Amino acid sequence: MVIPIHPPGVCDSPNKSQYRSMPVYSSRNPSSFRHSEGWSNSQSKLGSSGDGRYSPLSSYKPTQVSSLNKSVTSPGPGLIPPRGILRNATTNASGNPRLSKGGTSSYYALSSTPTAQNIPESIEQAARMTEAVFTKDKEYPSLFHALGGRDEPAQVLPISGLIEQDYPCLIERGLMSGRLFNIEHRTEIPSELKAWMSQTTASYRMGLFPEIHRAWMTIASDLYLWDFRDGSDLSYYAGLKEPIIGLAFAPAKPNLFKANLNHILCVTTPSQVVLLGFIVSCDESTLGLAAPIKTALEVIAQPIYTISSDNVLFPVVVGSSQGRIFVGGADGNVHEVFYQAQRGWIHDKCWKKNLTKSIVSSYLPNFLTFSSPDPVKEIVIDNQRYVLFTLSKSGTIQAFDLGEDGDSFSNIGCLSHETIINTVIVKSKNSLEPNSVRNILSISAIKQGDLGLVAVTDSGIRLYFSLYTGLSQRANPMIRPSTLKLAHIRLPPGYSPMSNIRKPTGAYTAYCSNGLFSISTADGDTSHVWLITPFIYPTANYAELSTRYTVPGKTIDVKEISVREIDPVVFEQPEVMSQHLPYRREIVILTSHGTIVLKASKPFELLRDLIQRQGPENIQGHFEMLPNKVQPLANCVLLASHPFLFTDNNVHDLATKAIFMYGELAPEFQQDAWPYSPRHDAIYTTVGRVLASFWNLKLLRTGTISGTTTKIIMPNISGEQVSYAIHFIQSLHTFIVNNPNLYMISQIVSTGTNNAQMENTPEGHRLMCYEMEKMSMAALKNLLSQALEVLGMWKILCEHQINIILQGVDDRLLNTTLRDMIVAGQNTIPVIIDALINKYLGDNAAVDAISIRLREVCPSLFRNEDAISSKVAEILSKAKQTTDPHEKESMLTDSLILCEQICGLGRVNIRNFCMQFAELGFPLGAIRLCESAAKAVDPQHLALLTLKPTVSSDPVANQAYNNRCDVYKIVFEILDMYYTSSNQQSPPLTGRTSDENLPSEKAKLFADETFRGILESEDEVFHIMLYNWLLERNLFGRLLEIKHPFLDAFLQRAAESVVSGKLHRNGMNGNETRILDLLWRHHELNQNHLAAAQILMRLADFTTDGLDFQQRFDYLARANICAKGVGRRGPGELLENLEDKLDVAQIQKSILDTLKNRLVNLSETSSGVFDHTLTNEVKMHQESIQRLNSQLFNISILYSDFAVPFKLHEIRLEIFNAAGHSEKPLIESLWADVIQTELDSTRESLESQLELVRRKVVTLGKKYISSPTYFPMEYIVEHLEAMMPVEMVDQAWVVRTMLEIGVSFTELLFVYEKLWNKVTQQRVSTLGGMNGQSQVCRVVMSMIKSMLDGKLEVRLPRSQQGKFSNEFIEKCKDLIALMIVEFSSKFEPEAKEITQKLNITKDRLEYR
């Protein structure tokens, strides 16, 4: 179609530039190219795909969505259903959520908006869904795939443009507005130049410098520049002497010239190459995002560099983004103009080098090269891949690699015009004639994607070239381009059999830029400019829209106006994804009559024109031309909420109506399908597009101060960007709020089976999906509200010196993204706000102004309590500076009152205020503030319920108790600080260092004041924490000085826990024993002896390494004393139990002492000698000693685990005595073991051995003489007599031993009498036979002789000495008589000798 030039101002959109993205391409596969590779034709809607490379939004599969903190798996079309919406939600086979068809539970009632408790969760859900939606929004096919490209093998469809879907006739069908471009500026050539052009016959050349908004004209050696937008700012340069044949405007090499000299104009003449210095500056008043750029130019009068052209004409000049300058010569070669600041050893400051001619041929004259030169026609540079392309006059295309860093030059490949023609014929299956590509007008680099170059012919055919051989190379950015090959042929409009558009022929100029193509054909005194742009929505096929403009005169140049500060990635995206940005795509057409600036209509503006002209009821086809309605509906959402372009509310109303008309779920909606409507997805898509440009951007970046190397932090998201985004987000939020039926959730109450049955019906399922969608929209509303406040806060921050404000907290923010701040900024935002407020502390007006603005901009981030906190911080800052004590006290009191008003709110950092109170010498203020805060966190005093045994396990009460403790910990942190500074105690447990500026005397006073302030509190929890604080620091004396009912209750609860055994079941540590040690002392001081005795006994019984045996024994002894102090009131059972424990403990002590002595001996023996057996014995002793120290054992364990294994015979005898065990044979064997042990303990003389035995027998005999059971005297006498050597002279050794023990003479004589009878009657005895009788007889005679000689005292009670003396004498006589009779019957010589002695003894008894 032909669109005539409209007068300026026909478009009602303001003058703005815009980002323009790389279009989304797709291809239709013509039926004429069906062959074995599987190409097929499809006549479905735009966006459908037969090969699976693209599918509409509704059939997207789960996709991983990456962000800074989350990895989200998105079901269905990339959206995350909010958690908690459905009770019976499951997924279908494809991963999409579906509603359960079973169960009785129904969708439960939900409020219209999430409650305060679940708002953070809803924000997180909305953020995840927004990310998922935008991830799916970016899943458009690349140019390579849109042209039918396959990854393996790496190839594309050979040709496209033959079917209607490639150039859909939507404008003719009334499905879209035809105003793809609008005239923004139309300016004639300046009158001065136009008059000169009409008067002279000299040749002139014209062109465009779009980067500085200038058109240029050269007339002979003069250069003229003017602003092509309005014809103003005409300037000229006349410093050259020769005609100008080529020129290019390029950025200067970095760091080579002065800072303001930032561009170079390279001009070529027949004999010279001249570099002119240009200073380009922008008018600061036009630096706004939406303002057109006003540039000022200043040229350096004298050329910077001038070099010879060496008789080569260079009509083609181009500069790279890195400052390199390339010139194309009439000799067919590419030269580079090098320049530097200083003269080098080899080169001058500026020189020229031929990059494409070989070294040998460079020294040969032209007539010896045997070929005519093919002049360079055009040079283009891909400044992202660093690839240079050339087009020669004959149509040859060459590619050169500039290196990974753009600083080298090497050949990639070359395609001659003949080769290109032959390849076109082969790929088109001979359907194209060779003359259809007879002349290549222009080439252009494709800076993104898989293809690298596009060339345009005079018939409008585009040829796409690839630089890679396979998928592996294209997918790896580290692999450099390696080839140049024709990949695809794109035909212009008019080749489709169904098309009524006339094919362009005879084009003489062409231009390509980021998906925009322009060709010009002549028609008399006018020209037809064909403009081809990508389809407004992403589609699977490479669909394009075309329009034709008629312009006066001949088209000389066409260029796209550069967009400043644009991310190159935006060029890869479809325009619908960035159309909300304030950048607009503009092209300028230079003709022989002047310049025309065309402004591209954005997709939503095309929809606006359509909806205004036809109404929303008549444009259903627009929403149905794609398989999915999300893209057109997203345009409607942008129309309904755009904050700048439309002041007419009618546009908003029409767009809103269209959203609700075409955004519902389809009637054929299936129960296992994605539960959200296209309207829902469209709103989320629009929000995602608005947030996408900075959603995952870090808030801060590091930079340097101008002219220095000092690093500072600076905002990575500027205030202007934030301000622009705020308008859009506010409009989107307003749009949702103004349409409550989007998010207001019905109150559906479950009624059991009926609702369950409803869920299984299509209508019930649809209703459930509506409610899910409304919940999702409510979450989005919360997200937008939060984003508005966060962005508003950041905008305020950007208006101040952010590097100073965030000093000290920047490390935590350097890796924080805007998403983190919006979704999870609960901990970060208060830090930033505090830093902002703290910067202005001391300036009352500034703090108030900032507080008021924060309250207006972000009321939920900076609430009333935050404002009061700021006021408190300001007062405390002044209090630190004042020297008047009364004024300081007044300020502290005022700040305390303000703090108490907000202390119950979790956002307020009361610790900070308490610490400042402490530093200012106001600890009572900290105590009072913490008491108020504790009451606020536990208003019902539930914490006190934990002190009652019946409710001590209540989780709610326990949480209240913990909350109070968390608050009071601040006071004890202050108390630690004071005590540390006073040098009274060891460093505090909190790890805080003491305040060096606080004198120790003053710190002690503050500590005492704090201590007294806590004791004056009425909160028992506060007191308990104080008591524990004293216990942890071993301040027992200070604790016992306290006289308070709370202390009595505290200690009583602990005592009851100990006595009942509930305190610990598996033992206690040393700290707990100290606590109990304090408890019994407290009870003893308060005359509560029974409780003290019980605690002491329990202490002795604890299994712990914190107590040794002596401590346990002392506890038992002390317990015994306390129990005795109870008097008759105390239970006798306790006293008896204690005495028994003491007896057993004494045995354990004996075992412990014995093992210790043995261990010493073993250690001395094993010193320097390795003996495995001895080492094990030492280890066994050590382990047993440790065990005996760890606890008190009962008597059975002492016997079985210690006495028996270690052969402690004396201990065994003692255990038998304590246990009342009276087994006679076992007791007698123990005495034998004791005696034998003593004999074995030394290897010295017989006398020494007997002396050891005597001592041991005497010791044990005295111990057990009162217990005949455990002192078997008859057995001991017999055993000792039996072990007496025959040759021993002292016959009375055993008698003296017994007498020393305390055995009476008469008892001993009776023992020997029994022993004599035993020997005489030949009973079992160790003294059997003649020797035994002789030994007993001699001992008896010795005893009687000693008695008669007065050497032995006959021990009788004084009352019986006279009465029994004669009887005793008679008894002795009878015994002697028996012995005489016995020995008189024997004939041994010894018997006669004994008989004689017996007679003598008898006579002495008779005559005593």
- The model's confidence at residue 1327, banded by pLDDT at 50, 70 and 90, is low
The pLDDT of 1349-1362, averaged and rounded, is 55
- The tokens describing 735, both together, are 């749009």
> pLDDT over 90 for what percent of the chain?
29
Q: 204 - beta bridge partners?
A: 219
The pLDDT of 866-894, averaged and rounded, is 87
Q: 222 - beta bridge partners?
A: 219
E strand or H helix at 542:
none
Q: 523 - beta bridge partners?
A: 526
Report the distance separating Cα 561 and Cα 680, nearest Å: 36
Contact 994, 980 (CB under 8 A): yes
Contact 462, 456 (CB under 8 A): yes
Q: What is the pLDDT of residues 931-974, one digit of tens each?
A: 999 999 999 988 888 887 765 578 888 899 999 999 999 999 99
Contact 1098, 1137 (CB under 8 A): no
- The model's confidence at residue 1315, banded by pLDDT at 50, 70 and 90, is confident
Report the distance separating Cα 966 and Cα 958, nearest Å: 12
pLDDT at 21: 30
The pLDDT of 894-921, averaged and rounded, is 85
The pLDDT of 893-904, averaged and rounded, is 87
Contact 1398, 1406 (CB under 8 A): no
Better-scored residue on pLDDT, 1200 or 150: 1200
Report the distance separating Cα 66 and Cα 1298, nearest Å: 99
The pLDDT of 705-732, averaged and rounded, is 85
Contact 275, 309 (CB under 8 A): no
Report the distance separating Cα 1299 and Cα 1081, nearest Å: 49
- The model's confidence at residue 1103, banded by pLDDT at 50, 70 and 90, is confident
HSE-CB for 882 with a 13 A CA cutoff: 17
- The model's confidence at residue 335, banded by pLDDT at 50, 70 and 90, is very high
Least confident of 351-355, 527-531, 683-687, 1261-1265: 1261-1265
Contact 897, 876 (CB under 8 A): no
Better-scored residue on pLDDT, 540 or 470: 540
DSSP state string for 820-843: HHHHH-TTHHHHHHHHHHHHTTT-
pLDDT at 73: 32
Query: CA quadruple 1369, 1373, 1378, 1382: dihedral positive or negative?
Result: positive
The pLDDT of 1238-1242, averaged and rounded, is 83
pLDDT at 997: 57
The pLDDT of 250-273, averaged and rounded, is 88
The pLDDT of 701-714, averaged and rounded, is 78
- Show the DSSP H helices in 1033-1171 as ranges: 1036-1040, 1045-1060, 1070-1085, 1089-1101, 1109-1126, 1132-1166
pLDDT at 752: 42
pLDDT exceeds 80 at position 284: no
Q: Across all residues in the chain, what is the average pLDDT? A: 79
Q: 237 - beta bridge partners?
A: 223
pLDDT at 1065: 30
Q: What is the pLDDT of residues 1013-1042, one digit of tens each?
A: 999 999 999 999 998 898 888 888 888 788
Residue 1279's nearest CA partner among 1327, 1246, 1316 is 1327
Return the DSSP state at 481. P
Contact 938, 965 (CB under 8 A): no
Identity (one letter) of the amino acid at 537?
Answer: Y
E strand or H helix at 462:
strand 462-466
The pLDDT of 731-754, averaged and rounded, is 73
- The tokens describing 8, both together, are 């300026």
Identity (one letter) of the amino acid at 527?
Answer: S
pLDDT at 632: 94
Question: What 3-state DSSP class applies to 1043?
Answer: coil
pLDDT at 98: 37
pLDDT exceeds 60 at position 83: no
pLDDT at 1055: 57
Q: What is the pLDDT of residues 607-652, one digit of tens each?
A: 999 999 999 999 999 998 888 899 999 999 999 998 887 666 788 8
The pLDDT of 358-372, averaged and rounded, is 52
Contact 107, 757 (CB under 8 A): no
- The model's confidence at residue 507, banded by pLDDT at 50, 70 and 90, is very high
Better-scored residue on pLDDT, 16 or 248: 248
Render the burial of 1318-1351: b for 16+ CB within 10 Å, e for the rest.
Answer: bbeeeeebebeeeebbbbbbebbbbbbbbbeeee
pLDDT exceeds 50 at position 90: no
Question: Treating both helix axes as pointing N-terminal to C-terminal, what angle do 1045-1060 and 1070-1085 enclose, rounded to 10 degrees?
Answer: 120
Better-scored residue on pLDDT, 877 or 367: 877
Q: What is the pLDDT of residues 418-438, one digit of tens each?
A: 999 999 988 888 778 778 888
pLDDT at 750: 37
Residue 134's nearest CA partner among 72, 185, 184, 182 is 72
> Residue 651 contacts by C-beta under 8 Å, 6 or more apart in sequence?
608, 611, 612, 639
Least confident of 402-411, 598-607, 915-924, 1187-1196: 1187-1196
The residue length of the chain stands at: 1408
- The model's confidence at residue 865, banded by pLDDT at 50, 70 and 90, is confident
- Show the DSSP H helices in 840-954 as ranges: 844-857, 864-881, 885-902, 910-919, 923-937
Count CB atoms within 10 A of the CB of residue 401: 20
The pLDDT of 1083-1106, averaged and rounded, is 76
Question: What 3-state DSSP class applies to 509?
Answer: strand
DSSP state string for 1369-1404: HHHHHHHHHHHHHHHHT--SHHHHHHHHHHHHHHHH
pLDDT at 971: 94
pLDDT at 950: 66
E strand or H helix at 1029:
helix 1020-1032
pLDDT at 478: 74
pLDDT at 62: 30
Q: Most confidently modeled of 124-133, 361-370, 569-578?
A: 124-133
Rg (CA), the chain: 54
The pLDDT of 376-398, averaged and rounded, is 94
Better-scored residue on pLDDT, 697 or 295: 697
φ, ψ of residue 594 to 5 degrees: the values are 160, -155
Report the distance separating Cα 386 and Cα 79, nearest Å: 39
Report the distance separating Cα 36 and Cα 32, nearest Å: 12
Q: What is the pLDDT of residues 23-50, one digit of tens each?
A: 332 333 333 333 333 333 333 344 443 3
Q: What is the pLDDT of residues 300-323, one digit of tens each?
A: 888 999 999 999 999 999 999 999
E strand or H helix at 566:
none
Number of H helices, E strands in the chain: 43, 37
- The model's confidence at residue 834, banded by pLDDT at 50, 70 and 90, is confident
Residue 53's nearest CA partner among 71, 69, 38, 74 is 38
Contact 922, 892 (CB under 8 A): yes
Residue 449's nearest CA partner among 24, 18, 19, 20 is 24
Give CA 305 to chain center in angstroms.
Answer: 56
- The tokens describing 811, both together, are 């490390």
> Residue 844 contacts by C-beta under 8 Å, 6 or more apart in sequence?
874
The pLDDT of 772-794, averaged and rounded, is 92
The pLDDT of 979-985, averaged and rounded, is 71
pLDDT exceeds 70 at position 1047: yes
- The tokens describing 1162, both together, are 């073993």
Question: What 3-state DSSP class applies to 596?
Answer: strand
pLDDT at 342: 80
Question: Treating both helix axes as pointing N-terminal to C-terminal, what angle do 1273-1283 and 1246-1264 enclose, rounded to 10 degrees?
Answer: 180
- The model's confidence at residue 699, banded by pLDDT at 50, 70 and 90, is confident
Report the distance separating Cα 767 and Cα 758, nearest Å: 9
pLDDT at 616: 92
Cα 218 to Cα 207, 445, 600, 657, distances in angstroms: 9, 27, 30, 56
Contact 420, 471 (CB under 8 A): no
- The model's confidence at residue 893, banded by pLDDT at 50, 70 and 90, is very high
Maximum Cα interatomic distance, the chain, rounded to a whole number of Å = 188
3-state secondary structure 116-175: CCCHHHHHHHHHHHHHHHHHHHCCCCCHHHHCCCECCCCECCCEECCCHHHCCCCCCCCC
pLDDT exceeds 90 at position 751: no
Cα 92 to Cα 96, 248, 673, 674, distances in angstroms: 5, 61, 8, 10
pLDDT exceeds 70 at position 477: no
φ, ψ of residue 657 to 5 degrees: the values are -65, -40
- The model's confidence at residue 810, banded by pLDDT at 50, 70 and 90, is low
What is this structure's pTM? 0.66
Q: What is the pLDDT of residues 47-76, one digit of tens each?
A: 443 333 333 323 323 333 333 233 333 333
Q: What is the pLDDT of residues 481-506, one digit of tens each?
A: 989 999 999 999 988 887 778 888 88
709: buried, middle or exposed (CB in 10 Å: 19+, 13-18, 0-12)? exposed
